[in-house]
Structure 1
Amino acid sequence: MMRIAVSRRLSSLSSPSSSSWRLTKAASSAVVSRNLVTGRDTLFSNSFPSATSFGILRRGYASQSITPIKESNIIPEIPPTVAAVKNPTPRIEYDEYNHERYPPGEPSKRAFAYFVLTCGRFVYASLIRLLIIKFVLSMAPSKDVLAMSSLEVDISSIQPGATVAVKWRGKPVHIKHRTDEEIQLARSVDLRALRDPQDDSERVIKPEWLVVVGVCTHLGCIPLPNSGEFRGWFCPCHGSHYDTSGRARKGPAPKNLEVPVYTFLEENKVLIGER
């Protein structure tokens, strides 16, 4: 566009009728200025030089733009740069070497995409697993409770007919050394008359030793050993009676006394709980 404008301007200036007029006007409006660097005089003119004087005026400044401003704009009121931004053209061609684009599902990139997705899913699964483990471990018993999960008791000093209370997991545990009479009394009970039918052999490991949790099954009171109508335990709070095997016989107690997990380590030692 710039070349077309220059050629039109030069062709109009090269006509013989206007050349003399333009030379006269150029001479009248020309200004001679001395260059301080080279020491030469330079002629400047406000009008565009003609074709004949174009060789003389080797250096000069145009007062107007050579390219027409309003002819190339779609909207004459705004500059060309703003018009180009507001009116993009689809004829722009991109360099495929610098702007490489692959369509969706490109076979050469499919393996990398699967690898990235698999790694992301593995990270998500690991985080979810870690959160679940932390949540489950938060509900587990603390270390001080686990340290009291088992209790070793020396029963060599317990006389026949006596009962010793020890503390296990914050609960009282009664260890009773039964006599032969108490053993026979516990075995002679008719199971059909019991509220919670359970044979005496199911509640003991050795017949002479009975280990029960000393907590009443009614409301959690602490019964008294070697007392009551059945020579077992008696709860003075609500009047529950237990026999020499720790079974509920009378009163509001619905179940028998709980038998914890215990084992005999030696002849005179018992381990309450699991090691």
Structure 2
Amino acid sequence: MASFQAVKKAVNLAPTVRSLPSGVPVAPLLNLAVRSPSSGHDHHGPSGPRADIQPRWAGGVSRSSAGLVSKTYLSAPTSYSQQQRTLHTSVARKDAPEVPDFSHYRANNTDSNRALSYFMVGSLGVLSASAAKSSVSEFLQTMAASADVLALAKVEVDLSNIPEGKNVIIKWRGKPVFIRHRTQSEIEEARASDWKSFRDPQSDEERVKKPDWLVMLGVCTHLGCVPIGEAGDFGGWFCPCHGSHYDISGRARKGPAPLNLEIPAYEFSETEDKLIIG
């Protein structure tokens, strides 16, 4: 019996109870909020499950047969049981209107307001049209010809200084213009030709406004060269670059030139002593 007591004292473990600073012992295995199991004598109705009993998936304190203590921790997700409640789910007053009443701010006569609205819309439309017109006009003016170009748009030539049977070359819009004061024999020669058989059929009457004055651009219709006057096989103009021949009316008669010399827009003054080209 004595030997048994000695062995018992040798394997007995010291108590591991801790105490708070206030002196109250700490008992981690004791749940003070637990409810007792339900019984028939309970006046408060059936009780729920014991809160001190941990579920199988949770960790806790376990004791071995030798008196050793092991404790495991497992953090389970916190579940909240709550319901969202927005502002409009509040209880509404039965007499509260859904749309605010703005009758206090309305005018007594709506016709005057309508007239004012039409006036404002019309005024804004007129202003917008004026601004658009000004913008377009300014843009078009930037694309217009300059003053020096407009000054050369028309050229006035004094015909009294050109003797009969002579040529005068002037510059108009960067191009040479031939002015020929033809003689009567040159006029008869130009009109006696069979113009219908020419490469570019055109009668002399169609090319002049007055028989004694021939006005045409001095640009060869082949490659844009300047022909020489009073030369060629037909007494008119000759282009030495590629051998084009023109008669006294400026019509292509020989060579590679496909068309007659071009006639610009011109007119005579009221006194018929000046020629205005352009």
Partner of 1:271: 276
Question: 1:131 offset after TM fit, Å?
Answer: 2.7
Matches within 5 A, 1:140-151: 140-151=144-155
Residue 166 of structure 1, aligned match among 167, 170, 181: 170
Change (3 A) 1:251 1:136: farther
- Residue 198 (structure 1) aligned to one of 195, 202, 206: 202
Query: Structure 1 CA distance, aligned partners of 2:128 and 2:266?
Result: 44
Counterpart for residue 121 of structure 2: 117
Distance in 1 (alpha carbons) for counterparts of 2:245 and 2:191: 17
Q: Give the drift of 1:95.
A: 8.7
- Paired residue for 2:5? none
Partner of 2:160, secondary structure, is coil
| Alignment coverage as a number of residue pairs | 187
Task: After TM superposition, give the deviation of residue 239 of structure 1 in Å.
Answer: 2.2
Q: What TM-score, normalized to structure 1?
A: 0.58
Q: AA paired with 2:156?
A: E
In structure 2, distance between residues paired with 1:254 and 1:126: 51
Whole-angstrom distance in 1 between the partners of 2:201 and 2:141: 38
Give the % identical residues: 53
Instruction: Report the Cα distance in structure 2 between the residues aligned to 1:140 and 1:194, rounded to whole angstroms.
Output: 41
Instruction: Tell me: CA distance 1:135–1:220, structure 2 relative to 1, closer, same or farther (3 Å).
Output: farther
The structure whose Rg is larger is: 2
Write out per-residue CA displacement over residues 197-255 of structure 1, whole angstroms, 9 at most, x where no aligned residue: 22111222221221111112222221111111221111222222211111122223222
Alignment of 1:14-163 (within 5 A): 91=96, 100-101=105-106, 107-163=111-167
The amino acid across from 1:171 in the alignment is K
Gaps spanning 5+ residues in structure 2: where? 1-86
Equivalent residue in structure 1 for 2:218, among 209, 214, 226: 214
Q: Which amino acid aligns with 1:168?
A: W
Partner of 1:238: 242
The counterpart of 1:254, out of the listed 242, 255, 258, is 258
Shift of 1:258: 1.7
The answer on whether the counterparts of 2:196 and 2:202 sit within 8 Å (CA) in structure 1 is no
SS at match of 2:169: strand
Unaligned runs of 5+ in 1: 1-83
- Paired residue type of 1:164: V
Q: 1:234 to 1:95 in 2, by over 3 A?
A: same
Offset at residue 172 of structure 1 (A): 0.9
Q: Deviations over 1:117-162 (max 9, x none)?
A: 1112222222222233333333332211221222222233433322
How far, CA to CA, are the matches of 2:234 and 2:210 in structure 1?
21
Q: By how many angstroms is 1:186 displaced?
A: 0.8
Distance, in Å, in 1 between the alignment partners of 2:263 and 2:129 is 43
TM-superposition CA deviations, 1:169-213 (whole Å, max 9, x none): 222111112122221221012122122222111222221221111
Residue in structure 1 matched with residue 76 of structure 2 by the alignment: none
Alignment-derived partner of residue 229 in structure 1: 233
Q: Does the residue aligned with 1:132 lie in a helix, a strand or coil?
A: helix
